[in-house]
């Protein structure tokens, strides 16, 4: 049995809380956060506190707060003997500033109210000491089959890759939604395409899955599309993507 304290009340804290309360091998000793309203949603099954001087003892403190709050929050845990691990993709482990430190970064996009199956979610762990690493691995294994040891330097770059695969992808969905709206077309028309595009790269490398006018260097369609676009940013993105795709495949054309 491992005991944990979750510090933070945002999306990551929420989803980790839901995953861990399902495991009989973990006791969520406490959830700590400043936001009293957000804290209430944890209250029914666990102890909650907004007093950072009254943090319970536990084997692991999961610091699921905003990047800039990791250092100051960690300081408040300086006298604890348990492992202090943050959950951020970008922040280096050393920012915690304590000897018994680590990282427990679940690589997924978390939405309020949308349940997730944690089993397949990659959890990237890191720790200063081997003993802490094995405890974090044990903790991860209780909720996921996908635990990876990844250091701060690699994790930073993995997070950058995730920004392309998630944040920027979502913005492309937004643009496509906008174009539909301008034509009074329902965005639902694109939903099966969006899903299949993502499903395809679960088994095929995206390099091999690329299709479309830029991939075939179909100049006529590229030109027509550019003429249809009115928004400046959309036009710039269209041109830049088309160039980048052409460049990636030019040796094959």
DSSP string, 14-83: HHHHHHHHT-TTEEEEEEE-S-HHHHHTTTTTS-EES-TTSPPP-SEEEE-S-GGGHHHHHHTTTT--SE
CA–CA dist 38, 50 (Å, integer): 10
Q: Please, what is the minimum distance in Å from the beta carbon of residue 242 to a second copy?
A: 9
How many chain residues touch a second copy (CB under 8 A)? 90
SS3 call for 170: helix
From the list 133, 9, 159, 158, the residue with the least C-alpha distance to 69 is 9
Neighbour order of strands in the sheet with 2-7: 48-49, 26-32, 2-7, 60-63, 83-86, 101-106, 123-127, 147-149
Please list every residue from 27 through 46 that binds a second copy, using CB under 8 A: none
Q: How far is CA 40 from the centre of its chain?
A: 24
Q: 18, 21, 23, 90: which one contacts a second copy (CB under 8 A)?
A: 90
Among 24, 37, 44, 114, binds a second copy (CB under 8 A): 114
Say whether residue 141 binds a second copy (CB under 8 A): no
Q: Is 56 in the site for a second copy (CB under 8 A)?
A: no
- Kindly tell me which of 56 and 69 has the beta carbon lying closer to a second copy: 69
CB 82 within 8 A of CB 56: no
Structure tokens at 233: 């940013």
Among residues 55 and 222, whose Cβ is nearest to a second copy? 222
Which region among 15-23, 38-46, 72-80, 198-206 touches a second copy (by CB under 8 A)? 198-206
252: DSSP letter: T
Residue 235 binding a second copy, by CB under 8 A: no
* Binds a second copy (CB under 8 A): choice among 57, 166, 219, 223: 166
- Using CB under 8 A as the binding rule, whether residue 182 contacts a second copy is answered as yes
In the list 36, 191, 219, 223, the residue contacting a second copy (rule: CB under 8 A) is 191
In the bound state with a second copy, the residue whose beta carbon lies nearer, of 2 and 121, is 121
> Judged by CB under 8 A, does residue 147 bind a second copy?
no
Smallest separation, CB 81 to a second copy (Å) = 32
Nearest distance, CB of residue 59 and a second copy, angstroms:
26
- Taking the least distance from each CB to a second copy, the nearer of 43 and 206 is 206
Q: What angle do CA 82, 88, 93 make, to 5 degrees?
A: 55
Burial 142-159 (b: 16+ CB within 10 A, else e): ebbebbbebeeeebeebb
For a second copy, the closer of residues 137 and 156 by Cβ is 156
CB of 193 to a second copy, least distance (A): 5
Q: Is 221 in the site for a second copy (CB under 8 A)?
A: yes
């Amino acid at each position: 049995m491992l005991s944990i304290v979750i510090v933070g009340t945002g999306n990551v804290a929420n989803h980790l809380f839901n995953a861990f309360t399902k495991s009989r091998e973990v006791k969520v000793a406490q959830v700590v956060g400043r936001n009293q309203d957000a804290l209430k949603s944890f209250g029914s099954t666990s102890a909650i506190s907004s007093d950072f001087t009254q943090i319970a003892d536990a084997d692991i403190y999961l610091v699921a707060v905003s990047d800039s709050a990791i250092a100051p929050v960690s300081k408040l845990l300086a006298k604890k003997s348990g492992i202090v691990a943050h959950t951020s993709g970008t922040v280096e482990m050393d920012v915690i500033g304590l000897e018994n430190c680590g990282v427990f970064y679940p690589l997924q996009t978390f939405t309020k109210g949308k349940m997730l199956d944690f089993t397949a979610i990659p959890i990237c762990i890191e720790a200063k000491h081997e003993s802490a690493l094995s405890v974090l691995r044990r903790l991860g294994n209780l909720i996921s089959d996908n635990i990876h040891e990844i250091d701060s330097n690699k994790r930073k770059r993995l997070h950058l890759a995730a920004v392309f695969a998630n944040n920027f992808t979502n913005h492309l969905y937004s643009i496509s939604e906008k174009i539909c709206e301008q034509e009074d077309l329902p965005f639902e028309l694109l939903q099966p395409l969006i899903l299949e595009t993502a499903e395809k790269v679960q088994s095929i490398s995206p390099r091999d899955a690329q299709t479309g006018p830029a991939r075939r260097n179909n100049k006529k369609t590229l030109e027509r599309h550019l003429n249809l676009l009115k928004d400046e940013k959309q036009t710039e993105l269209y041109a830049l993507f088309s160039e980048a795709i052409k460049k990636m495949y030019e040796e094959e054309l």
